[in-house]
Amino acid sequence: MKIALDPYMLRKVPLLELPRLVADLGYQYIEMSPRDDFLPFFLHPRIDDAGVAAFQRELAAAGVSISSVLPLYRWSGPDEDARQAAVRYWKRAIEITVDLGVDVMNSEFNGRPEKADESEAQFWRSLEELLPIFEREGVRLVLEPHPDDFVEDGIAGVNLVRGINSDLVSFLYCAPHTFHQGGDLAAVIKHAGPLLTQVHLADSFDFRGSSGLRYIVNPPGSTARVHQHLDIGQGEVDWDLFFATLAEVGFDGIATVCVFAWEERAEDSARFNLSQVNQYLSKTAG
């Protein structure tokens, strides 16, 4: 299993300084999530070939590898102009990933829940154009359902990924989204089985608690998808069950720490969560 860090809370650190810091925090792998000087949210990539080469040199010097590259684009949005732009951004992001020597990309479906049918149609349209590029370049694509996406339920997300019917496309289970995916993490993980190749690690509270009044969101009836990305142990994800189920299905993929709640102590959070993951893995192995 590759234990990686999503360095989003460290995004103010210059890109070329990031590998050394990640190594100092105890990680050997980075999941490169969106940042303004690399792959910004919903915009064309900003890094050029010289920047990619310089970043590679710093990664090698620090003894750190990129486990996966995570772009976020509106490739399933119902607006056709936005979808076409997202496909263009994806193509450049794939080039950058290949130039970095990385063979895994992970992302979200990125459509709209109120226009689920239209979004799925747009998703398939984009995939028809992009999947041949993934196949040509030998890059694996790992997809997750996400709160406020056209697919939010975990079982439905697995089924959609399975329907793509490609050996290069697999499923990501995001632990802090457990309660938006149906709440039964073991059922989703087992349903995915060998299709599960990546997990995201952070904690969250169950928004459904207290008869749906765990959080008061105004105005009443708001469709906001409330969840957190907390340190492991600060929420209500059942981590004993989570790691036991991973062991049961023989998971041996990428496990990314993706905590976003504590920028004021980002480094301490990264170290703490790495120790927690290692403790759970030792406990499960024992």
| Residues 24-44: tens digit of each pLDDT | 999 999 999 999 999 999 999
C-beta of residue 226 within 8 angstroms of C-beta of residue 256? no
**pLDDT of 200-213, one tens digit each?**
999 999 988 887 77
Percentage of the chain exceeding pLDDT 90:
91
Mean pLDDT of the chain: 96
The CB density around residue 194, as the number of other CB atoms within 10 Å, is: 10
Query: In degrees rounded to 5, what are phi and psi of residue 47?
Result: -80, 140
End-to-end CA distance of the chain: 16
C-beta of residue 64 within 8 angstroms of C-beta of residue 19? yes
**pLDDT of 111-164, one tens digit each?**
999 999 999 999 999 999 999 999 999 999 999 999 999 999 999 999 999 999
Per-residue pLDDT at 124? 98
The structural domains of the chain, with segments of one domain joined by +, span 2-285
Residues in the chain: 286
- Give the helix ranges, DSSP H, for the chain: 18-24, 49-62, 80-99, 116-137, 154-164, 185-192, 209-212, 239-248, 266-285
Nearest alpha carbon to residue 51 among 8, 92, 21, 91: 92
Positive or negative, the CA dihedral 151, 155, 157, 160 is negative
Q: Is the pLDDT of residue 217 over 90?
A: no
DSSP class of residue 231 equals P
Q: Span 48-52, mean pLDDT? A: 98
Q: Is the pLDDT of residue 255 over 90?
A: yes
pTM confidence score: 0.95
- If you count DSSP H runs as helices and E runs as strands, how many of each does the chain have, helices first? 9, 8
Q: What is the CATH number of domain 2-285?
A: 3.20.20.150
Q: Span 191-208, mean pLDDT? A: 95
